[in-house]
Amino acid sequence: MDLIMGNWKMHATHLEAIQMMQKLFYRLNPDDYARVEVVVAPPFTSLRSVQTVIEADKMPIGLGAQNVHWESEGAFTGEVSPGMLAKLSVSYVIVGHSERRAMFGDTDEVVNRKAKAVLAAEMRPVVCVGESLEQREAGEALEVVAGQLAGSLAGISIDDPDQIVVAYEPVWAIGTGRSATPDDAAEVTDAIRADLVDRWGEAGEGVRILYGGSVNQGNIAGFMAKRTIDGALVGGASLDPDKFAGVIRYWI
């Protein structure tokens, strides 16, 4: 099933998060959940509250986290382990988001460790890749993404396509209001699909590939129409429940 995931980044207190969930739930109906798997990834401080509201109101909405440490415990001040997230019913963990790669030292090797730790804790990593504007203009987009996949997915094997998700997020399209065109995005997601099939055979065929970068209600349908795009990772537009519901119901 297609997957649309809201990445709230560093937004919303836990009280605001509860309200956002209630508003979102109010705007969606059973037909929507039948067509799209909906996931929200709030900051760590809201996970417990969002988990509680999802369970109390029986919302068919999944819970994601935005980051994780790869060790299971230890002297790592400020970090959160995979086991801690799994106990909160977190099922997806974003790893290697470009903001973390650019600002917090998440190299491919770090992303790889995190992805493996997420899998070991029986959650699903959402592995993000994407080129910068400079790299795109130099004609290096495919090469950069191939390198990120090689590093981030090294030594990982899967037998069920649902175990992992790959998100293609061109850095120049994130938070800029300037999305890629569906054709540009699909050129890269086609290459990602070929890589995943080389890597994992039949399982690689079914791994969901998301597009991310200034996705909104007006442009989502164009991306979803592409054969190798199976959903979206949505930043800014996921903070407003009206807008996020509009993105989720992309066929309307």
Alpha-carbon distance of 165 to 141, in angstroms, equals 20
Residue 11 annotated as catalytic? no
Under rule CB under 6 A, residue 235 binds ligand PGA:
yes
x/- contact string, 131-170, with ligand PGA (CB under 6 A)?
--------------------------------------x-
List the one residue from 212, 222, 231, 241 that touches ligand PGA (CB under 6 A). Answer: 212
185 binds ligand PGA (CB under 6 A): no
Segment interacting with ligand PGA, rule: CB under 6 A, options 11-19, 71-79, 157-165, 231-239: 231-239
| Cβ–Cβ < 8 Å for 30, 18 | no
Alpha helices per DSSP H over the chain: 14-27, 30-35, 44-56, 82-86, 98-103, 108-120, 133-137, 141-152, 182-200, 202-206, 220-224, 241-248
CB of 13 to ligand PGA, least distance (A): 20
Q: State the virtual CA torsion across 108, 109, 110, 114 in degrees, nearest 10.
A: 90
Active-site choice (37, 99, 131, 169) = 169
Which of 128, 223, 120, 227 has its CA nearest to residue 170?
128
* Dist. CA 63–CA 37, nearest whole Å: 11
| Residue 233 engages ligand PGA in binding (rule: CB under 6 A) | yes
d(CA 178, CA 215): 9
When the beta carbons of 82 and 212 are compared against ligand PGA, the nearer one is 212
Q: Which stretch binds ligand PGA (CB under 6 A): 24-32, 76-84, 110-118, 212-220?
A: 212-220
d(CA 182, CA 131): 16
Verify binding: residue 174, ligand PGA, rule CB under 6 A: yes
Using rule CB under 6 A, residue 231 touches ligand PGA: no
Whether 97 is catalytic is yes
Comparison of 174 and 248: residue with beta carbon closer to ligand PGA? 174
Catalytic residue list: 97, 169
